[in-house]
Structure 1
Amino acid sequence: MSSLTRTLITLGFSDLEKTERFLGFPELAGLDRDELLSGLGAANDPDLALQSLVRLLSAVPAAYGRLTTADHETGRAVPNEALFRLLGASEALVEFLIRHPEHLDVLDTPTSPEPAPVPHAALRASMLSAVGADPESRTPVAALSGTEARIALRTRYRRHLAALAIRDLCAASPQDIMPMVGAELADLAAAALDAALAVARAEVAEQFPPREVAAVKLAVIGMGKCGARELNYISDVDVMYVIEVDGLGTDDAGGLDEAHAVTVGSALASAVSQAIHAPEREPGLWEVDANLRPEGKDGPLVRTLGSYLHYYQRWANDWEFQALLKARGMAGDRGLGERFEKAVAPLIWTSSEREGFVASVQAMRRRVTAHIRDSEAGRQIKLGKGGLRDVEFTVQLLQLVHAKNDASLRLRATTEAINALMKAGYIGRTDAAHLDSAYRYLRVLEHRIQLVHMRRTHLMPTAPDQLRALARAVTGPMNLKRPSAESLLADWGRVKRQVHELHRHIFYRPILASAAHLSAEDAALTTDAARARLAALGYRDAPGAQRHIEALTAGVSRRAALQRQLLPVLLGWLADGVNPDGGLLAFRRVSEALGTSHWYLGMLRDHRAAAERLCHVLSSSRLVTDLLEVSPEATAWFGNDKELLPLTFETQWAEIQSKMSRHPEPADAIRLIRLIRQREILRTAIADCSGLLTQEQVSAALSDADRAAVLGALLVAEADVLDGGPALTRVLVVAMGRQGGREIGYGSDADVLFVHRPVDGANEGEAQEQAKDIVAKLMSMLTQPVRPAIMAERVLSIDADLRPEGKNGPLVRSLESYREYYARWSSAWEAQALLRALPMAGSDELAVDFIAMVDPVRYPAALGEPELREIKRLKARMESERLPRGADPARHVKLGRGGLSDVEWLVQLWQLQNAHAEPSLRTTQTAAALHAAHGLGLVDAEDAAVLDAAWRLAGKIRNANVIWTGKSSDLLPSARGDLEAVARWCGYEPGHAAAFEEDYLGLTRRARAVFERLFYG
């Protein structure tokens, strides 16, 4: 073996005989052999590099001057890395240089291990200038047209493409810069479309009057990878065209009707495609594909924005909203493109609410896989199992499901979306890292395969020499090892398996078909017998229950063995609840989260009461199961009654202060404050479900949790707004309504007033502005989504509509402003609202002064006849106007007959009339005021008992609705299942829903009679 042969093998050449023959070609005579081989050896495919070099030098002798370049450190001549890497990576781009030797200077492109992107604006300006259009014009029109314009446009595009390929090929890590490369490719495509549109304007102006062409605004909406700014080197560019017309429908000579505007717009769109792809001496760039438009090939090529919205709102399929996720105004009229994006965004992010949406997305992915040719199934990088589509569909489905409530997920690029999903907690850090790494790897494979001939392909090559070259291309120039074809296929196989497993785990729910093994005694049960047993226990979906049982008991782990013993008993306890199927699913989720925790398994085995309580709650409360799914560690409370006792306000406040001291960043602090509130709601709900709390204790516990959260949020907001500056005012949050009465339920908002008082010497206007900023920040912190998201959070909504002048009044006022308003302008209803005013958070001194100020207002010396008439009129008006349309007044527990409103208004009327003279009536709590009214002889014992019972039962039903469904409702349920659940919550035995319904309707009928006699009499 000659020394040359050994050198060629070391450098990675495959066809040694052909290589030695090429080295003897006259084009290479006179070149330094060592330098030449050194340059060729740096290429991903040395064989291709040598062949391409010979062809280039033969056709373009000027290329000899590009073979070497000066080393930036030593100044001596070294092989031109840009040239040799391009020679060994892209035969198509070398052909471009042969056709256009005037662009050889592209080989002078600066290289860097971490290249920077070329700004889109620079690419756009270059492309427009190439066709003689003014980049600064709002509607550029090309000076060139026809063949001349097409050649200029395509030549300039390929120059930029070659420069990008050189920077990509010379980067230290192809995978690290892959997102940058995809983004610049998309920006370059967008710039090419802008140039093509400038050419189209010039050409179409020969078919239609120039004023008509100028009147038609056209925006090119990028879809797919181009819309997401993650384009391939060669790919169809998916687009849609939106038009808008200046003067549309006007009667003047310049006006166009919509039909004619569509004709002009279609001509422009067709001309754009021709400029990009029509046959010409300089080959087309890529196909401009508009088939994702409404109705596909059968639909009009261009539409107005209104036409698009009409279609999407009425006719669109689920897949079209998934496609719109990537939609971006990328060329043409910027303003129109942005309006399109904003208009379709609400449709995209609510599309998952459509019936069967998730199933349709999953079915679409299966169809894509099913249509792969058998001959290509094992070579598909894009569409096959473990390919790019698996990553993209997984990420997009998660976005479509969750982004309607989490705007941080509303991203187009896959790598950015993966990162956002990780940050928001929808994907674990490890899974996200694997998805991101796999996606980058697969995209680099795709890029390097496409670069060779600039052909749209997603298939792994089969020839060993091509595989070896691809292995080198994927690892990057800094890898000193010589990767082999075998190592490439092994790495690709590992990535595919990893992606497919993650896709299956995230994209689909597990499907288990085998029958359950309930216990050793039950092991012999046939499938039919197992289903019959579950049905007899009350499970409606016996096959589904079997799947959950199989998941819980399969395997040889300690957890599985223990649960095989326990499940026969647990299934019975779950069946005692209202929804055994939901309870079993919830139990499975909790067990999967905590099954390896020794304390959890010990509790199930050793604490019968705790396990039975857990089963009862899981099958009776959607609220608790949702919160437990987020905080499964709270399951430990079931085994310890002391843990279920609500924490006092003082204890919560001490914990919040401690958290704030360790987490000074506002976002971190408010998230922890909200988590503490969420935890306390869960603690209270479990204790409530377990019968450990009275209704008053539940309300007090929930009020304490809200108060601690508001106080913490106020301090965080003050610190954030002040940012080290001086405090110009002191802010007070005053609870109103049921919050002020400490009578809230699980679904209650926080009705509040915001009061402030400037510090001595502060400018009142500046103090007012600071107070307004603090209040706005407080409300935002308590209600806006946090990062990462608190899943299933019971957000505390702040309602300040009871303030002076309602929604039209300022959100926060000074104490003196309140004083002046109540003295001059307040109505009887405002005095009535103040009966429940209770300082909640903020300055203690201001709280004392505020109460001293409002007491004369809410406890007037006398209630005049006009005020009495106004109160009665408002109550009647509220009953007629605020009751939801179609709601049965007999079943509405708040505004309906004998409900919460009737009792509270009657009690408040007594307070307005008598509290000035009777201090016992000066309370914000309805039950305490009713008791005081009875003690003063304002109502007899029988009537007071009826009112009290109706008020308490109505409040209990409101809580029961939230506990059972997880959602707020003020209606006594009509559906039998829901009514049964609420009846059990209210203390009725199973099967007594009808008796409960009759009791409620009878009780509220009597309460209404008492109310009408005492309120209107």
Structure 2
Amino acid sequence: MTVPGRRSSTFMRLLRSGFTDPSAAAALLDSDALAAVRNDPVLLDALGATADPDLALRGLVRLAEAEGESGRRVLLDTLLRSKPLRDRLLGVLGASEALADHLARHSADWHALETYEPADLHPGLADFEQCLADAHDPVRLRVAYRRCLLSIAARDVCGTIDVAETAAELADLATATLRAALRIATAAAPEDAAQCRLAVIAMGKCGGNELNYVSDVDVIFVGDAANGADESAALRAATRLASHLMRICSETTVEGTIWPVDANLRPEGRNGPLVRTLSSHLAYYQRWAKTWEFQALLKARAVAGDPDLGAQYVEAITPLVWQAAERENFVADVQHMRRRVVDNIPAAHVDRELKLGPGGLRDVEFAVQLLQLVHGRSDATLHSRTTLDALHALAAGGYVGRTDAAQLGDAYRFLRAMEHRIQLYRLRRTHLVPEGEADLRRLGRSLGLRTEPVAELNRAWRRHASVVRRLHEKLFYRPLLDAVAQLAPGETRLSPRAAGQRLEALGYADPAAALRHLEALASGVTRKAAIQRTLLPVMLGWFADSADPDAGLLNFRKVSDALGKTPWYLRLLRDEGAAAENLARVLSAGRLAPDLLLRAPEAVALLGDPEGLQPRAADALEQEVLAAVGRADSAEAAVTSARGVRRRELFRTAAADIIGSYGTEDSPAETDLGALVDRVGRAVTDLTAATIGGALRAAVRDQWGDTLPTRFAVIGVGRFGGHELGYGSDADVLFVHEPREGVDEQDAAKAAQAVVAEMRRLLQLPTADPPLLIDADLRPEGRSGPLVRTLASYAAYYRRWSLTWESQALLRAVPVAGDPDLGRRFIDLIDPLRYPAEGLGDDAVREIRRLKARMESERLPRGADPTLHTKLGRGGLSDVEWTVQLLQMRHAWAEPGLRTTRTREALAAAHAAGLIGTEEAQILDEAWVLASRVRNAVMLVRGRAGDTFPTQTRELAAVGRYLGYAEGTVGEMLDDYRRTTRRARAVVDDLFYGG
């Protein structure tokens, strides 16, 4: 019977030793299996030193029970006598449940850990081959493989080998396993082996001698005829051998599986033949291969099969690898692949993804490989397949700062060690950091974190991931600054040629100009230059991620020159997290926003204020413009002041639009694209109304003081009245006046005409700002009619002469400036016209359809692609708006929700009233939003309005980036636009034209 005091003492000792379930541990120590050692303090201390003492104890009991009485005695006696065995065996049992399972099934394998000779510490490929030599079938191969894995894991958890050596041993074991599997496949089909030569090329981590505990082993197979055999027959034989090799390694048996052999990196992937000749491989790589395939080939290594054929393959593809950086769209392809990997991570896993997440292992590997491919063209010292070796070579060659390389290497080693220990636990292929407290505790302790394992692990992991994220940009760009800043002549520095190569590969079309800009910004010992050297590595990365890095850098230099003596500018970019990234996105997104900013550089301050990009309210804009006009001493000066407000607010709107569309690290791209379009439409419309109001006040004040002889109002129509203006839209308006009491009608008319003429003159004064054009062509009688009429004249005209199209044009009429009471009375006048009682008659409907058909055939510009014209093309703005307006004119008399000037609101109201189905409404809304975004994008990118996609490559790519498409996917963008508008046109044909 156990004495209570002794039990309490045992429990406390177990807790102090790191056991989390002392009751279960005490029961296991009291079991018959450990009877001989249950009270031995050496064993308890050794268990307490493992990653998971509870797990180690359970594994030891299972092993002791499996050994039987005589074997158990030998095991326990040896365990107590030999500290090396004790550390290795218990270390494995405390870190790997899967290897404990293996030892429970094959208990004699513990003897593989018994010897502790120098030669045993670092076995090579030949040693692993010897260990697998007697494995003549898949089951025995699995058992032998796990025995070898057991010895690697023991060296790993005891710290005898570091993480790089562990990865190299795992790659050697994989190589030996592939050779053994090919030997088994050859023995099963000697007739196939006799007529072919087969080489196995390792790719990925196996090829790079940096394999994980559990990973797909990527391979490529190369075949050839042997002994005069027919080539086709030889390839069929080689394919059978290769397929059998893959099954031997991949299939599940009573002893489980080894790892999947993945041949999908071969030419044409899974759609291509499993085995090709060397000449067939080369023909594919020279004509069809994509950039990522050359990046993958960087790690190609012949590992099994015919050594001469394997060597010939590697020798033949090596020059192609080191010429890959000269391919068109090289970096765009690499970045696109990296983004695609990140985009494919489930949202719930991003924060736990050790390999693919931000600051993960793939970031390091991609960065190193990209720099290798860029500079390895002219420097053979960079031709390493192994990440850490390549990083060391990059630092030694001056391509990466030594401190940066050391920090990145430390982070990579820590993350790989985490990955190894996570996989070792159950020998499962995973890169997710566990969430459970017990799993995190075991993981932390396995890495030597013993005081507070979970908290220490999380801190270390986040710190290293943060280093990777920070250095991922700095790695590329810091050496460029060192190359031009010339602050430390004794240090290794990129040569001008290497710096140019890197900039060119990173997307800069004019690397010489880029280096001049960098030198102007970062050279010298001033505080300003020092801050720029801190900012530029990250800024350059953001520029490179845009469609036009050269423009981004040039614009940044111009803004910095303009604000260089302003103390707050660089401080804002350095200290306000979002300001620098926001500025980089804005400066590289096209011409409009940078042009506006360069004319008002102080607007940079808006980018650092969390509220700075929110649109101003209409009344606040109106008050600011009118106050500026009031302070001016002439009409021209007044409009110049109003334009200054417009310039700043257009920049605010454009910057918010760009950032909302592109997203930043802290603020992802906005997903409600309709809301983004609506926000731009409201902001530009309110700003246009305020500017016109300011011009009206200036025109009146200059000649008549505070009171015009006639009341005067400006009515917005078209997209202006719909609050749907884009950056390049004209302002469609009607002018209405009403003589004041006691004023002669002719005098009032002359005054009104003079005001209109002066407003138009003032707004058309030469300026570098985007023009604000007033278009009054929708007035009665069109261009033949007077520019301005009295309210009574409008009433008489509409009563007697109004045509259906004029009633349709009035659907979006709303007062925007001038006398508010007169504006309201104008709206009261036109409501019966645009919302006719009992709707439209059949004749009127036919007339609208006829006008629309005529417009389609006559107004589309010659040579324009009707599938890509945003305004008049198939399924574009005109199609959607005319369809919605027809519904308004037919049904607004009975449905108050349709009495709105805004297209999307009217469409939603029509759907709510049951006039259009849910799917049809969504299709029309999507097409209208997309066409509006394309028009806005064209203006942002080109700095001038346009209704079609640009033809210039960089401009088209910039439009694509605004719309959310990655570099190199403009074809997909155009296809999506055509698909969206084609569906919209089908709805228009049904609803507008009646099927």
TM-score (norm 1): 0.48
TM-score (norm 2): 0.49
